[in-house]
Chains A and B, each alone.
Chain A
Amino acid sequence: MAHARVSTADILKNDMTGLLADWMSELRARSDNRISGSDVEAQATDLLKLIATASETNADVGSADWGAVRALLDDVSRTRAQQGFSAQETATFVFSLKKPLFGRIRRATEKDPAALAEETWAATELVDALAMHTVKAFQKSREDVILRQQEEMLELSTPVVKLWNGIIALPMIGTLDSARTQIVMESLLQRIVEIGAEIAIIDITGVPTVDTLVAQHLLKTVTAIRLMGADCIISGIRPQIAQTIVHLGVELHGVTTKATLADALAVALERTGQSISKVQPS
């Protein structure tokens, strides 16, 4: 095995320019206009140099000696993911190294079939491990994007607005699940404390469907608001939603409900002893 390792490393060390040229022609055959040839060449050169250094000491891609190689591959995958490449295209960047590398191994071990098989196997394992790492990194960067978007969506969909003195409103948009209800509840209760709001209006115009679970979440929020010492009004109940709630047998008693946000605001103003009036034309 010791012999095999040295040989792949030898090829990399002694014939890097030739290998790079062959690899680049492989890459160019698959190139498209999303990334420039010079960028690819720079990445390929860096990668070959780092692999050459790392493979001198150690053949295990997971080891610390290969840290620089893995970091470079992480970087390549991340930029490819951002540029809109698919996982396959990103992995091909590494896999296309196989052909030029195997060709050189064959030439170097022409007289010894056993050595040829051994060298080829070692090189395959190496390239596969690198490609696997690339795909993993690619997937991770995609998952990070999805996660970030989910968080942004949560933040976007739960703004608590101050409507009037002591009156806040939460226009709810999208489906309510447990995780979202928790965040909605927390941000709403927090704002009640900050503003000292006496009345909180939850507007569910943007909630597409209400099932028993959603109703239960709503009731929990209402109860928590009451425990804090504020009042809660639910507004924006569409006719279909009203029918669903009744058909489901959900009891919303003790909760003030209104059809529109305007009605809810009117009730809230009345309860807090405030009023809005038209200015008399002078």
Chain B
Amino acid sequence: MERIPILRMGDFLLVTIQVDMHDRLARTLQDDLTSQIERTGAKGVLIDISGLEMVDSFIGRMIANTSAMSRLLDANTVLVGMRPAVAITLVELGLSLAGVDTALDVERGMKLLRARLAPSSRNGRHQV
């Protein structure tokens, strides 16, 4: 079955979505990601959606939910690389993904996660 790979990089997990999501794929990803966080004890999750060209309300909600689930498992989630068209669609759908951290690309997302995890730093400025 088709699966979205979850890569481990130190304390972080990197999920790169390069194909258009359909509902079952999204559910599988949620299952995989939560169990991976539990098994590896990851402190941060980066979801790269730069390959995602289309979203619907289900995928939008799934992204918000995945991030909320990771937070429950004590892992910060940063959503990176959202395309302009996807951002506009989500806003028009009324999904502002409040509470989800965002960054322009994986590199900046990683920096943001590190800043979050550094004990001395205050909360990053992207938090809403």
Residues of A within 8 A of B (CB): 182, 185-186, 189-190, 192-193, 196-198, 220, 223-231, 254, 271
Contacts and interface: CB of A to CB of B under 8 A. Distances in A.
B102 A186 contact: no
Contact of B102 (A189, A196, A227, A271): A227
Given A229-B109, A254-B128, A223 B104 contact: no
Contact of A186 (B82, B88, B126, B128): B88
B104 A186 contact: no
A226 B104 contact: no
Interface in B66-92: 79-84, 86-88, 90-92
Contacts of A186: 84, 88
Nearest to A185: B88
Contacts of A271: 125
A36 B128 CA distance: 70
B104 A224 contact: no
Q: Give chain B's interface residue range (CB within 8 Å of chain A).
A: 20 to 34
Contacts of A198: 104, 108
Given A196-B105, A226-B102, A229-B108, 13 more contacts: A186-B88, A189-B87, A190-B84, A198-B108, A220-B91, A226-B126, A227-B87, A228-B87, A229-B80, A229-B81, A229-B102, A229-B126, A231-B125
B128 A226 contact: yes
Q: State the main secondary structure of chain B at its contact with A.
A: mixed
B57 interface: no
B84 A193 contact: yes
Interface of B: 79-84, 86-88, 90-92, 96-97, 102-105, 108-109, 125-126, 128
A194 to B, nearest CB: 10
Given A186-B84, A193-B83, A223-B91, A229 B125 contact: no
Contacts of B80: 229
Contacts of A254: 128
A227 B105 contact: no
25 contacts: A182-B88, A185-B84, A189-B88, A192-B104, A193-B83, A193-B84, A196-B104, A196-B105, A198-B104, A220-B91, A220-B92, A224-B84, A224-B88, A224-B90, A226-B102, A226-B126, A227-B79, A227-B87, A229-B81, A229-B108, A229-B109, A229-B126, A231-B125, A231-B126, A254-B128
Contacts of B82: 227-229
Nearest to B90: A227
Nearest to A253: B128
Contact of B84 (A220, A226, A228, A231): A228
